[in-house]
Structure 1
Amino acid sequence: MPNQSTVWRSWHERFSVDLREAVQTAARTILIKAQKAGIEIPRELERKLSYRNDNEDDSVPDGRTVLERAKKITDYVSRIIFPAFSLDRGDGCEIHENAYWNLQTYLGLRERLAANEGARSYIHESTRDRTPLGHAHRSHIRDLSIEQTREMYRQAIRHLIDEIAETEEFFRAGIVAINITEADPFAGDRTGHEDEIIGTKENTEEYAYQWATVQLVGNAVPIVLDARPVRKGETRLEIVEDLLDSAEELVHVDNVLMDREFDSQHVLEMISQRGLSYVVPKRMQTSEKAQAKRLLQRDQDRYETDRKLHLGKNEWHETTLIYRRKEDSEHDDHRQYSVFMTNRGSGHLTEYGYRWEIESGYKSIKRFMAATTLKHFGLRFFYFAFACLLYSI
């Protein structure tokens, strides 16, 4: 049996990226099958092992550099975020409220650190006379409602926008991307939490918490303008309306980019009614597949056509379908083509590439999240929202 050092070295230095992903997938499948068979398993999947991308720089900053960067970020966070957050504890508390936000920042800047472990090490790095214990920190965060967290988040983003409002990058704002991300798959007991720990977007046997965000993309400052949890039964229309309401209160919005899970005609109509443009890939149905096959026979790379989407009661949404052949596609049939919908012509299609910024952003955001095994929905969402703030800063 190899020791821990050998396993670590093999995982990080010998295993390829594909092999690591295969091992993680196999382990997750075993846990799910074991749970269904009634075998006792961990209440939550172990967090993913972190490893460098093979193309990344191998240099690792030394301890002093890390501390200097952390202090700079912490100072900025204390000036921008702390004034917007409140635990509403009343007067006479021995531990200053900012100590809790300092601890949360500390947890986020040290990847995947849990409250108890982080609170113990924070004592030695903090200059405060009194710092929160891990269980006290979690208890206060759990007392915050989802709406309280969201309102404090919006206020903090307003402070951040006021700070950067005069920069050239902010003046280029106007394109936002809306998407939903998942936490690591959950393999524990969901009893009593079925509306919060919902199925994954890939329609597998796994379950996960889901969070939705709206983020500035393109040549603008990459700020997560708002974040919200996704509960069972909520429609994509409700989610997009909610996030766009927040975004338009904060910045000028021109164009909305979304994934194909938001290709509902009612979502598109709502965006058009706001006077905004959109670019959304469409899930290919029978008619789109037939058209793609005809394009393939003609060896045609691109095709546009107008389409009316039925809204009900003799009402229609007018959109443009753009078929585009993928470069270097692995397929040799109609799957070489993607279909996009837009209400402002094909010129906006080039902007869709900006949407991938939100995907890469999620990877960074999750690195800023404090670790927990608790199923408390409010605590989980607070950790995600605070990570979004750290990413935006």
Structure 2
Amino acid sequence: MADREFDGHDVLHTLDSHDLIYLIPKREYEAALEGVEKVEDHPIADVGVEPDVEVGVDGEVSHEVNFMYLPSTEEGGDYAVFLTNRDDVAPEDVRGLCNRYSRRWEIENEYKQIKKFLPTMASTDYRVRCFNFLFACLLYNVWRLADYLLKLEIGKPIRDEPVLTAGEAIELLACFLVPYG
């Protein structure tokens, strides 16, 4: 799964040549409007798949992709268009694949939270940097576990905002990690 900036024939060719299955939103879909029109004209369906579209590099066919059309969740957008080199994409699979794509932002948001636990360092030694990152991941997981247990205790839904913020968790951990004296 990659951002729409990776929608380019050379990138798609490279991914496919390494046998990687990709799912990428189409950067611009003016050329794909015919597929959108077919979906819009259909009396029942609001998603569609245009299978086996040939993609090429330098005038030669590189591989085939499937265009997937579904209603856009963005303001002002009519349809979102994704492409994948995955074989046999059925219309009933489109929403699930595209929902999985949209959930990738959760990972990026979680990584931003992990950064809060990273210490400031000047070392360029990869071992020190790796240790600090792994330790930050451990502290992050301790925070998530503590927040989860607090939510269970007070009967708050798990998906709600944290009861214990990352900043509060860092302050509490600092009390135990930094000796007073």
> Do the aligned partners of 1:280 and 1:340 also contact (CA within 8 Å) in 2?
yes
- For structure 1, the residue ranges without an aligned partner over 5 or more in a row are 1-256
1:320 positional shift: 0.6
Deviations 1:340-391 (A, max 9, x none): 111124347153244223222232133134458xxx9x85x99986664345
Question: How is 1:25-36 mapped onto 2 (pairs within 5 angstroms)?
Answer: none
1:322 positional shift: 0.4
1:323 positional shift: 0.6
AA of the residue aligned to 2:113: S
* 3-state SS of paired residue (2:54): strand
Which residue of the partner structure matches residue 325 of structure 1? 71
Q: 2:61 matched to 1:315?
A: yes
1:304 positional shift: 0.8
Which of 117, 135, 146 is equivalent to 1:368?
Answer: 117
Q: Distance in 1 between matches of 2:71 and 2:129?
A: 37
Instruction: Assess, with a 3 A threshold, how the Cα gap between structure 1 residues 293 and 367 changes in structure 2: closer, same or farther.
Output: farther
AA of the residue aligned to 1:339: V
Q: Distance in 2 between matches of 1:383 and 1:293?
A: 55
Q: Distance in 1 between matches of 2:37 and 2:132?
A: 45
Q: 2:22 matched to 1:278?
A: yes
* 3-state SS of paired residue (1:322): strand
TM-score scaled by length of structure 1: 0.27
Instruction: Assess, with a 3 A threshold, how the Cα gap between structure 1 residues 298 and 364 changes in structure 2: closer, same or farther.
Output: same
Question: How is 1:244-263 mapped onto 2 (pairs within 5 angstroms)?
Answer: 257-263=1-7
* 3-state SS of paired residue (1:258): coil
Instruction: Assess, with a 3 A threshold, how the Cα gap between structure 1 residues 383 and 318 changes in structure 2: closer, same or farther.
Output: farther
AA of the residue aligned to 1:351: R
Identity %: 30
TM-score scaled by length of structure 2: 0.53
> Do the aligned partners of 1:319 and 1:343 also contact (CA within 8 Å) in 2?
yes
Q: 2:102 matched to 1:358?
A: no
Deviations 1:30-87 (A, max 9, x none): xxxxxxxxxxxxxxxxxxxxxxxxxxxxxxxxxxxxxxxxxxxxxxxxxxxxxxxxxx
